[in-house]
Amino acid sequence: MFYEVLSNIMSLIIDLTILYMVLFFLSLNIVLCIDIEINDFYPQERYALLLIRDSLNSSVDLHGNWTGPPCINNISRWFGITCSNWHVVDITIHGVNLSGYLPSTFLQNITFLRRIDFRNNALFGLLPNLTGLVFLEEVKLSFNHFSGSIPLEYVELLGLEVLELQENYLDGEIPPFDQPSLRSFNVSYNHLVGKIPETSLLQRLPKSAFDDNSELCGKPLDMSCPSSMEKNKKKLQVWIIALIAFGAALFLFLMIIAFLVCKRKAKGNETRRNDSTRYVFGAWASNVGNSEDSGRLGQLEFFDKKLQVFDMDDLLRASAEVVGRGEFGVTYKATLETGNAVAVKRLSYMNELSKKEFIQQMQLLGQIKHENVVEIISFYHSEDQKLIIYELVSDCTLFELLHEGRGIGRIPLDWSTRLSIIKDIAKGLDFLHQFLSSHKVPHANLKSSNVLIHQTNQGYHSKLTDYGFLSLLSSSNKNAEKLSISKSPEFVKRKKLTHKTDVYCFGIIMLEIITGKIPGGGEVDETTSNDLSDWVRTVVNNDWSTDILDLEILSEREGHDAMLNLTEIALECTDLMPEKRPKMSVVLKRIEEMEQMIKEND
Ligand SMILES: Nc1ncnc2c1ncn2[C@@H]1O[C@H](COP(=O)(O)OP(=O)(O)OP(=O)(O)O)[C@@H](O)[C@H]1O
């Protein structure tokens, strides 16, 4: 009886212990799962991928697409990335003009990597270090510009099934690969040398795996390797050939120089001849002459008598060159016989106002004088010709400054320059809002191609142009969709336009300056929005704020706070609801305060 009770108590204790242990492991499991759900990814893997994103160029916008965590809910929304068990296991980015040097040890932290596929790109430098990546099964790096030798450590990748290195510039000898798992191996079309190692794997591969490596020899190529004496003889022959080739190249070089010098001289004479036949601004003089106003030729309207140093006849005699074509006509640089130059915009689609209304509007715009607004010097109106003559602002537009020549060789546009440009634009726009306060939307065409940049010793100086155009169109807004305000939410929804519509356009320009992205550009897929402000909002809300920064300013860490503060202001300016956007005067004040704070901290 006693033993029975004792055994019952014992079995109860055992049952309870088991139950307790089951409950303990179950709870541990839940905690682990929750933890993984919260973390969702491994930061060191994200960091390794960001190294690729930030050091390479490609036709795919990796910078825009690779934001946030690479693995969410165990799947990846990043282009070319596959996840498994919350780890990055596959990087497949082939045929997208990926160019640059791969960071040397970036892959080491992606511990569970099974496959890398960078085929058909333009990658330079040494092959990546794959030490320790024991799960690697496929390495496809063919059709690139890799150079240097094949790392010896590759033979230690024991699970490797595919190694494709063909069509690169690899040199040196082939390491002794002999992994039983290796079922596909190709090093053809490189500059590999020496004897193919006599491992059982390499010896049974077909000739095509080694083709077109001029100094490779061994059984798979049906080519016996030369003895050391033959090698020395061959080396001597190579020296002689190299010497002859050098002599020939030198001769050719001298011939080319002589040819270029002669050609340049001839071209100089030709340019001088052509100067007189250059396109002359008077090409449209016949139009003006035929118009109803022909009798009034010479009646350019000037706003500042000091600037009235030329008349219509002078302008028609000026030599002119087209500097750009926009939505509302062609812009010329006209150089007068005095040597002074002006910018002349020949307006199209501006026939909706009566002559009186047009002149009234122009007389108001002509009063505007501000250091950040391009000055209107004069205008001309006839039934078939409408011209606006602006001061000439040389150098370039903000669009060109931000986006042209991206890639190798471009001088980065630093953060302090960007900040000063933002401030200049804000000052110009705030002034327009005060001066043209009765206008529905004072600028109405604010975009980076309408910000002209002039470089001085003190730095970049920005001026707004193409302002006031909404007032030159009829109230039916027939051609208003050619203006930048047509991208605003209120225009799209056909709601009331106000000064806040300009504020929206200003917010978009700020985002363009901070991110280096072209608004409305970029690729659209299920993960990215075409709209710059939507994309920035999503990334910033997910707490990956610095992902939005242009690569050219990303390294200026001390400026990150200011960059992100300005991003916040830009997002307020691009709020869907106009009434929630700040006034331009408030925006300018906040920018100035921020600039002051930066100066004090320095
Ligand atoms: N005052 C100026 N001084 C010097 N260059 C100018 C001036 N105004 C315009 N330009 C040049 O002419 C180009 C065309 O300007 P334009 O305003 O006609 O077209 P846009 O800005 O590209 O388009 P939109 O007509 O929609 O504003 C500009 O990109 C700039 O290079």
Give pLDDT tens digits for 62-116: 887 888 888 877 778 889 999 988 899 999 999 998 988 888 777 888 999 999 9
Q: Which residues does residue 223 pair with via DSSP β-bridges, in sequence order?
A: 218
Rounded to whole angstroms, how far apart are CA atoms 180 and 114? Answer: 17
pLDDT digits (tens, 9 = 90+) for 144-166: 999 999 999 999 999 999 999 99
**Any residues with Cβ below 6 Å from ligand 1, and which?**
323-324, 326-328, 331, 343, 345, 374, 390, 392-393, 397, 445, 449-450, 452, 465-466
Mark whether 323 and 418 lie in a shared domain: no
Q: Average pLDDT for residues 431-448, to the nearest whole number?
A: 96
pLDDT band, residue 602 (cuts 50/70/90): confident
Q: What is the mean pLDDT of residues 2-11?
A: 60
Tokens of 557: 């860490």
Question: Which pLDDT belongs to residue 18?
Answer: 54
SS3 369: coil
Of 322, 346, 394, 465, best ligand 1 pocket probe by most atoms within 8 Å of the beta carbon: 465
pLDDT above 70 (res 582): yes
Q: Which residues contact 568 (CB under 8 A, 6 or more apart)?
A: 540
| Confidence bin at 51 (pLDDT 50/70/90) | confident
CB atoms under 10 Å from CB of 498, counted, come to: 15
Question: For residue 540, what pLDDT is reported?
Answer: 86
Residues 215 and 273 in one domain: no
The Å distance, Cα 324 to ligand 1 centre, comes to 6
Minimal-distance CA residue to ligand 1 atom 16: 326
Q: How confident is the model at residue 269, as a pLDDT?
A: 40
CB atoms within 10 A of CB 577: 9
Q: Which of 373, 394, 415 is the last residue of a domain?
A: 394
Are residue 406 and residue 297 in the same domain, yes or no? Answer: no
Task: Look at residues 109, 159, 158, 100 and name the one whose alpha carbon lies nearest to residue 129.
Answer: 109
Q: Which of 68-82, 223-237, 523-537 has the lowest mean pLDDT?
A: 523-537
The answer on 33 and 62 residing in a single domain is no
CA atoms of 588 and 582, how far apart (whole Å): 10
Q: How many percent of the chain have pLDDT more than 90?
A: 47
Task: Flag the least confident range among 116-120, 226-230, 366-370.
Answer: 226-230
The DSSP-derived string for 394-443 is -SEEHHHHHHTT-STTPPP--HHHHHHHHHHHHHHHHHHHHHTTTSSSSS
- Tell whether ipTM is more than 0.90: yes
Tokens describing residue 242: 């190299």
Beta strands across the sheet bearing 87-92: 81-84, 87-92, 115-117, 138-140, 162-164, 184-186
In a domain, 227, yes or no: no
- Expressed in angstroms and rounded, the spacing between residue 392 Cα and the centre of ligand 1 is 10
Q: To test ligand 1's pocket by mutation, which of 307, 321, 322, 323 has the most ligand atoms within 8 angstroms of CB?
A: 323
* Chosen domain end from 350, 367, 394: 394
Ligand 1 center–CA 287 separation, angstroms = 23
Say how many Å lie between the CA of residue 331 and the centre of ligand 1: 6
Q: What pLDDT score was predicted for residue 291?
A: 43
Q: Tell me: pLDDT of 532 over 90.
A: no
Q: pLDDT value at position 489?
A: 93
Does 226 fall in a domain? no
Going by the annotation, the residues of the binding site are: 345
What distance in angstroms lies between residue 462's CA and the mean position of ligand 1's atoms? Answer: 13
User: Taking 60 as the threshold, does the pLDDT of residue 195 lie above it?
Assistant: yes
Give the pLDDT band (50/70/90) at residue 294: very low
Query: What are the start-end ranges of the E strands in 132-241?
Result: 138-140, 147-148, 162-164, 169-172, 184-186, 191-195, 215-217
Domain boundary among 196, 221, 246: 221
More confident residue, 398 or 40: 398
Separation of alpha carbons 293 and 172, rounded Å: 80
User: What's the 397 CA to ligand 1 centre distance in angstroms?
Assistant: 8
Probe residue for ligand 1, chosen from 387, 397, 464 as the CB with the greatest number of ligand atoms within 8 Å: 397
Overall average pLDDT of the 236-247 stretch: 78
**Closest-CA residue to 342 (of 380, 388, 392, 305):** 392
Residue 48 and residue 71: Cα distance in Å, rounded? 13
Neighbours of 348 (CB within 10 A): 15
Mean pLDDT across 208-231: 84
Atom 20, ligand 1: residue with shortest CA distance: 326
Report how far ligand 1's centroid is from the alpha carbon of 346 (Å): 11
Query: What is the CATH classification number for the domain harbouring 479?
Result: 1.10.510.10
pLDDT higher than 60, residue 266: no
Q: Give the closest residue (by CA) to ligand 1 atom 23.
A: 326
Bridge partner list, 185: 163
Pocket test for ligand 1, best of 322, 327, 331, 391 (most atoms within 8 A of CB): 331
Question: Does residue 508 surpass a pLDDT of 80?
Answer: yes
534 close to 524: Cβ distance less than 8 angstroms: no
- Give binding residues for ATP as ranges: 345
Please indicate, yes or no, if residue 205 is contained in any of the structural domains: yes
Phi, psi of 330 (to 5 degrees): -105, 140
Domain co-membership, 238 together with 268: no
357-404 pLDDT, tens digit per residue, is: 888 999 999 999 999 999 999 988 888 788 999 999 988 999 999 998
How many domains in the chain?
5
Contacts 24+ apart (CB under 8 A), 63-68: 63/547, 63/551, 64/517, 64/522, 64/523, 64/528, 64/535, 65/523, 65/527, 65/528, 66/547, 67/539, 67/542, 67/544, 67/547, 67/548, 68/539, 68/542, 68/544, 68/547
pLDDT band at 333 (very low <50, low <70, confident <90, very high): very high
Closest atom, ligand 1, to C-alpha of 484: 26
Q: What is the structure's pLDDT at 400?
A: 93
- Answer yes or no: is pLDDT of 31 > 60: no
535 confidence band (pLDDT: 50, 70, 90): confident
Q: Which two tokens stand for residue 97?
A: 């003009």
More confident call, 351 vs 114: 114
- Which residue minimizes the CA distance to atom 9 of ligand 1? 331
Tell me the pairing of strands 99-101 and 319-326.
Answer: unpaired
**Ligand 1 nearest atom to the CA of residue 330, by list position:** 18
Q: Which ligand 1 atom minimizes the distance to the CA of 465?
A: 8
> First CA to last CA across the chain, in angstroms?
89
Ligand 1 mean position, distance from CA 323 (Å)? 7
Average pLDDT over residues 502-509: 97
Averaged confidence pLDDT in the chain: 83
Atom nearest to 329 CA in ligand 1: 18
Measured in angstroms, how far is the CA atom of residue 500 from the centroid of ligand 1?
A: 24
Residue nearest to atom 17 of ligand 1 (CA): 326
Q: What is the mean pLDDT of residues 565-578?
A: 96
Regarding whether 372 and 480 lie in a shared domain, the answer is no
**Is 473 within a domain?**
yes
| CA gap 511, 590 in Å, rounded | 16
Host domain of residue 578 = 395-602
Residues 354 and 410 in one domain: no
Minimum-distance ligand 1 atom for the alpha carbon of 445: 27
Q: Which of ligand 1's atoms lies nearest the C-alpha of 400? A: 29
Q: Whose CA is nearest to atom 1 of ligand 1?
A: 392
Calpha distance 154→116 (Å, rounded): 14
pLDDT of residue 217: 92
In this structure, the answer to whether residues 57 and 185 fall within a common structural domain is: yes
23 in any annotated domain:
yes
Q: Do residues 19 and 79 both lie within one domain? A: no
Least confident of 16-25, 146-155, 300-309, 542-551: 16-25
Within this chain, do residues 52 and 159 fall inside the same structural domain, yes or no? yes
Ligand 1: centre distance to CA 326 (Å): 7
Q: How far is the CA of 468 from the centre of ligand 1 (A)?
A: 15
Q: Is the pLDDT of residue 259 over 90?
A: no
Residues 569 and 542 occupy one common structural domain = yes
CB 163 within 8 A of CB 182: yes
Instruction: Tell me which residue has its CA closest to atom 18 in ligand 1.
Output: 326
pTM (2 d.p.)? 0.69
Q: Does residue 270 belong to any structural domain of this protein?
A: yes
Q: Which two tokens stand for residue 137?
A: 């099964």
- For residue 71, give the CATH number of its domain: 3.80.10.10
Answer whether residue 179 is part of any domain. yes
Whether 242 and 203 map to the same domain: the answer is no
Q: Which residue, by CA, sits nearest to atom 5 of ligand 1? A: 393
Q: Is residue 269 part of a domain?
A: yes
